[in-house]
Structure 1
Amino acid sequence: MDKMRSMEVFVRVVDAGSLSAAARTLDMSTVMVSKHIVALEKLVGARLLHRTTRSQSLSEIGEQYAEQCRHILHLVQAAETGAQAMRAVPRGTIKLSAPVAFGSQCLAPAMVEYLDRYPEVSLDLELSNRKADVVEEGLDAVVRIGLLKDTSMVARPLRPLHMIICAAPAYLERHGTPLTPADLSRHRCMDAMHWRHDTRWRITHSDDAKPPAPRMRSNNGEALRQAAIAGLGVVLQAEVMLADDVARGRLVPILRDYWPAPRPMHLVYQRDRQSTPKLASFVEFVVERFGLR
Structure 2
Amino acid sequence: MDRLTAAKIFLETVARGSISAAAAHLDMSRAMATRYIALMEEWAEVRLLHRTTRRLSLTAAGEQLLPICKELVALSADVKVLGSQPESAPKGLLRVTAPSIFAEYCLTDVLMEFLQLYPAVAVDLQIADRITNLAEEGIDLAIRVTDNLDPGVIAKKLGQVESFICASPAYIQRHGVPRDVRDLAAHNCLTYAYYGRSLWHFIVDGENVTVPVTGSFSTNEASIIVRAALSGTGVAMLPHFAAERAIKEGHLIRLFPEFRIKSIGIHAVYLSRQRMPNALKALIDFLSRRLAD
TM-score range, shorter chain: 0.5 to 0.7
Query: Which residue matches 2:17?
Result: none
1:132-281 alignment runs, 5 A limit? 132-195=132-195, 200-205=199-204, 209-272=210-273, 275-281=276-282
Q: 1:271 to 1:187 in 2, by over 3 A?
A: same
Contact residue 91 and residue 121 of structure 1 kept, 8 A: yes
The 2-side partners of 1:82 and 1:233 are apart by: 50
Q: Deviations over 1:4-42 (max 9, x none)?
A: 9xxxxxxxxxxxxxxxxxxxxxxxxxxxxxxxxxxxxxx
Task: State the one-letter code of the partner of 1:262.
Answer: S
Report the Cα distance in structure 2 between the residues aligned to 1:231 and 1:244, rounded to whole angstroms. 17
2:119 partner amino acid: P
RMSD over aligned Cα atoms: 2.9
DSSP 3-state at the match of 2:97? strand
Once the two structures are TM-superposed, the CA of residue 212 in structure 1 deviates from its matched residue by 1.4
Q: Which residue of 1 aligns with 2:102?
A: 102
Q: Aligned in 2, Cα 1:132/1:183: closer, same or farther, shift over 3 Å?
A: same
C-alpha separation in 2, matches of 1:217 and 1:270: 33
One-letter code aligned to 2:162: H
TM-superposed CA distance for 1:289, in Å, is 1.1
Q: Deviations over 1:195-214 (max 9, x none)?
A: 3656x423333787351112
Q: 1:229 to 1:150 in 2, by over 3 A?
A: closer
Change (3 A) 1:82 1:168: closer
Distance 1:156 1:272 in 2: 11
Deviation of 1:151 (Å): 4.6
What code does the residue aligned with 1:201 have? W
* 3-state secondary structure, aligned to 1:284: helix
Which runs of structure 2 are paired with 1:42-57 in the superposition (5 Å)? none
- TM-score of the superposition, structure 1-length normalised? 0.65
Say if 1:153 and 1:271, in contact at 8 Å, map to a contact too: no
Matched residue, 1:30 = none
The residue identity in structure 2 corresponding to 1:165 is I
Would the aligned equivalents of 1:227 and 1:233 in 2 still touch at CA under 8 Å?
yes
Q: Which residue of 2 aligns with 1:128?
A: 128
Find the aligned partners of 2:147 and 2:127 in 1 and give their Cα distance: 20
Aligned length: 215
Inter-partner Cα distance in structure 1 for 2:111 and 2:276:
21
2:168–2:232 contact (8 Å) kept in structure 1: yes
Structure 1 residues 117 and 174, CA gap change in structure 2 (3 angstroms): same
Answer whether contact 2:193 2:219 (CA < 8 A) is retained: yes
> Where does the alignment leave 5 or more consecutive residues of structure 2 unmatched?
3-69, 78-86
Gaps of 5+ in 1: 5-78
Q: Any residues of structure 2 matched to 1:64-103 within 5 Å, and which?
A: 83-86=74-77, 88-103=88-103
CA distance change for structure 1 residues 229 and 148 in 2, over 3 Å: closer, same or farther?
Answer: closer
- The TM-score normalised by the length of structure 2 is 0.65
With over 3 angstroms needed to count, the CA separation of the structure-2 counterparts of 1:107 and 1:149, relative to structure 1, is closer
Larger Rg: 1
Distance, in Å, in 2 between the alignment partners of 1:158 and 1:236 is: 22
CA distance in 1, matches of 2:149, 2:251: 38
Change (3 A) 1:81 1:212: closer
Distance 1:149 1:239 in 2: 21
Q: In the TM superposition, what is the alpha-carbon distance from 1:227 to its structure 2 partner?
A: 2.1
**Are the aligned partners of 1:168 and 1:251 in contact in 2 as well (CA < 8 Å)?**
yes
- Shift, 1:273, TM fit: 5.0
In 2, Cα distance between equivalents of 1:255 and 1:131: 32
* Partner SS for 2:289: helix
Q: 2 CA distance for matches of 1:158 and 1:80?
A: 24
Report the Cα offset of residue 250 of structure 1.
0.6
